[in-house]
Structure 1
């Protein structure tokens, strides 16, 4: 009797070992995520689940809505998507088999000639996608806050300018009633003041101006030296001609008696 009890205990121990091994095998099944870089126009989440459920168990789907595209009666527009299969082996097979292939279905379908652009995301988990979406959401909020604050600053600036103009007009009107001169008015007529704003010269402009001044001085000095040389040449020519006249006239000059 004791021997039979020991045998039953041993068999029960083996059963528990087998059950623990099977549970461990079940735990080893890891989900896999595939990425759809393009979603055919107006294809819904339900339609994508129906298509990919033919290859394996689809757990979760997320499609990124197209913020620029308007929703119509045909459906909603999406830009990209992520699908999580319960088994990553199936996810890999689906990505390899369907990438750059036609969506197919009935020939009358609007997606018949569309192509799948699918990639298996190695070591990618759904938690990573949640982190990314949360980060993008926070970035959009921050961008929205920045734009709102900028619009508020612009509005306040215009309001202050408008209020300043109103105050200025009120002061001018009060001065007119008191008979005091108003700035910008002559004989009851308003003269428009024109402000001329000149840009400060850059270093390159200053160098060019300096070069032009040097070239101008050089040209004037050259012209002056040329004028002096011309005067000297004329004087020497006149002296030479008078010397020749004295020689050939025997030292007599016209007008001498």
Structure 2
């Protein structure tokens, strides 16, 4: 029994030492965590301070552009609605005035192998050109002395065209100066010896041309729709007639088959014996009984009638 008491005291001391070590370890871990968090916060603060210390000159071009766009948006938002409306009206009036100052020339004939790029190169030396429109020709004009090569792709040819100049005076001057004159340019070009057929259209605007084109396209669509509807009607009529003919032919075939069957059945009945032939029975009907009126109604005697009429 004495030997057991010192053992229990030693175990108790060991347990106390372990508990003290555990407490120390926990305290050290807490201190380490706190120091690490503080270091991280200090680094973040330093980075922010460095970012704030940067000057605007150190920004990239994209950042500057984005900043300018944001400033413009803020200014626009800050401007009241009345000022915005006034600015829009001013812009529209400017555009309308510019449109009124423009002039349009008409080309009644476009030489072969000439497109809008070459036409712009030739006419841009006389003045500023805004828009060009060339109508493609449905029937290309063949060039004499040259055969079409199947290997090469055929160029698009145009029948007429319109050219819009920035100013009316330039358009008038170009039309008066070039009409009936030789196109010229490089001698190697195919339209070197062709003549200009150009005319200035007074009081004609580009919107009129677009309206005319839209009107023509609408008419073309209407014609196509009418043709398609007529073709559909013809197709439906033809299919209906085909169905009728098939039905009639089927009926005729059925009637022919019935006639054949009846003929065959008639010949078979004639060949059969009397016992096997069909017998049609006729049941005689009784006549209706006529009711005599003399028995139903009483009559006066002849003597009474003679006495009555004789006295009259």
TM-score w.r.t. length of structure 2: 0.47
Kindly indicate which of the two structures has a greater share of residues assigned to helix: 2
Q: Tell me the residue number matched to 1:30.
A: 101
Q: Map 1:55-134 to 2 at 5 A.
A: 55-69=126-140, 73-134=153-214
Call closer, same or farther: CA 1:28–1:68 in 2, change over 3 Å: closer
Candidates 124, 128, 132, aligned match of 1:53? 124
Candidates 139, 143, 161, aligned match of 2:219? 139
Asked if the contact 1:43/1:75 (under 8 Å) is kept, the reply is no
Q: Which runs of 4+ in 1 moved over 3 A?
A: 26-29, 67-70
5+ residue gaps, structure 2: 1-93, 142-151, 261-312
CA distance in 1, matches of 2:176, 2:153: 34
* Equivalent position SS for 1:84: strand
**Structure 1 residue 144 displacement after superposition:** 0.7
Give the total of aligned pairs: 155
Asked if the contact 2:113/2:190 (under 8 Å) is kept, the reply is no
**Structure 1 residue 157 displacement after superposition:** 1.5
CA distance in 2, matches of 1:167, 1:103: 71
Deviations 1:163-189 (A, max 9, x none): 111111111111100118xxxxxxxxx
* Equivalent position SS for 2:101: coil
5+ residue gaps, structure 1: 1-22, 181-257
Call closer, same or farther: CA 1:74–1:113 in 2, change over 3 Å: farther
Call closer, same or farther: CA 1:108–1:130 in 2, change over 3 Å: same
**Structure 1 residue 158 displacement after superposition:** 1.3
CA distance in 1, matches of 2:181, 2:256: 83
TM-score w.r.t. length of structure 1: 0.56
**Are 1:44 and 2:115 an aligned pair?**
yes
Q: Map 1:111-190 to 2 at 5 A.
A: 111-179=191-259
Call closer, same or farther: CA 1:45–1:143 in 2, change over 3 Å: same
